[in-house]
Amino acid sequence: MQNLLNNITDVMTQATERGRVADYIPQLAHVDPKHFGMAVATPDGQLFTAGDATMPFSIQSISKVFALTLALGKQGDGLWQYVGREPSGDPFNSIVQLEHESGKPRNPFINAGAIAVVDAIMMGHEPKEVLAELLSFVRYLAGDDSLFFDHEVAESELKYKHRNASLAHFMKAFGRLQHDVDKVLGAYFHQCALAMNCVQLARAGLFLVSDGVNQASGSRVVSAQRARRINAMMMMCGHYDGSGEFAYRVGLPGKSGVGGGILAIAPGKASIAVWSPGLDQIGNSLLGTRALEMLVQETGWSVFGH
Ligand code: GLN
Label the pairing between strands 57-58 and 254-256: unpaired
Residue 196 near residue 147 (C-beta atoms within 8 A): yes
Distance (Å) from CA 4 to ligand 1 centroid: 31
Q: Does residue 248 carry a catalytic annotation?
A: no
Label the pairing between strands 37-41 and 219-220: unpaired
114 lines ligand 1 (CB under 6 A): no
Q: Does residue 240 carry a catalytic annotation?
A: yes
The reported pLDDT for the residue numbered 67 is: 98
Catalytic residue, candidates 64, 104, 172, 255: 64
**If pLDDT is split at 50, 70 and 90, which confidence band does 172 have?**
very high
Q: How far apart, in Å, are the Cα atoms of 172 and each of 78, 137, 217?
A: 19, 28, 40
| Ligand 1 atom with the shortest distance to the CA of 157 | 1
Give the Cα separation of 129 and 105 in Å (integer): 25
**If pLDDT is split at 50, 70 and 90, which confidence band does 60 have?**
very high
The reported pLDDT for the residue numbered 119 is: 98
The reported pLDDT for the residue numbered 13 is: 97
Residues 229-275 have pLDDT tens digits of 999 999 999 999 999 999 999 999 999 999 999 999 999 999 999 99
Q: Does residue 61 carry a catalytic annotation?
A: yes
The reported pLDDT for the residue numbered 216 is: 85
| Ligand 1 atom with the shortest distance to the CA of 192 | 1
60 lines ligand 1 (CB under 6 A): yes
What percent of the chain has a predicted confidence (pLDDT) above 90?
Answer: 99
Residues 210-231 have pLDDT tens digits of 999 998 889 999 999 999 999 9
| Ligand 1 atom with the shortest distance to the CA of 24 | 10
Domain coordinates in residue numbering, the chain: 2-58+196-299, 61-192
The reported pLDDT for the residue numbered 62 is: 98
Angle at 287 between CA 285 and CA 289, to 5 degrees: 65
Give the Cα separation of 188 and 184 in Å (integer): 6
The reported pLDDT for the residue numbered 4 is: 98
The reported pLDDT for the residue numbered 198 is: 98
Give the Cα separation of 49 and 41 in Å (integer): 9
CATH superfamily for domain 61-192? DD-peptidase/beta-lactamase superfamily (3.40.710.10)
Q: Does residue 160 carry a catalytic annotation?
A: no
Type of residue numbered 14: Q
- Helices 111-122, 63-75: inter-axial angle, 10-degree rounding: 40
Q: Looking at the predicted structure, is the pLDDT value of residue 36 above 90?
A: yes
Residue 52 near residue 35 (C-beta atoms within 8 A): yes
The reported pLDDT for the residue numbered 217 is: 87
Q: What CATH number belongs to 2-58+196-299? A: 3.40.710.10
The reported pLDDT for the residue numbered 272 is: 99
Q: How far apart, in Å, are the Cα atoms of 290 and each of 5, 78, 274?
A: 13, 37, 10
Residue 62 carries which DSSP code?
Answer: G
Q: Do domains 2-58+196-299 and 61-192 have the same CATH topology?
A: yes
Q: Average pLDDT for residues 92-96, to the nearest whole number?
A: 95
Q: Looking at the predicted structure, is the pLDDT value of residue 294 above 90?
A: yes
What's the mean pLDDT when you consider all of the chain? 97
Residues 144-168 have pLDDT tens digits of 999 999 999 999 999 999 999 999 9
Q: Does residue 274 carry a catalytic annotation?
A: no
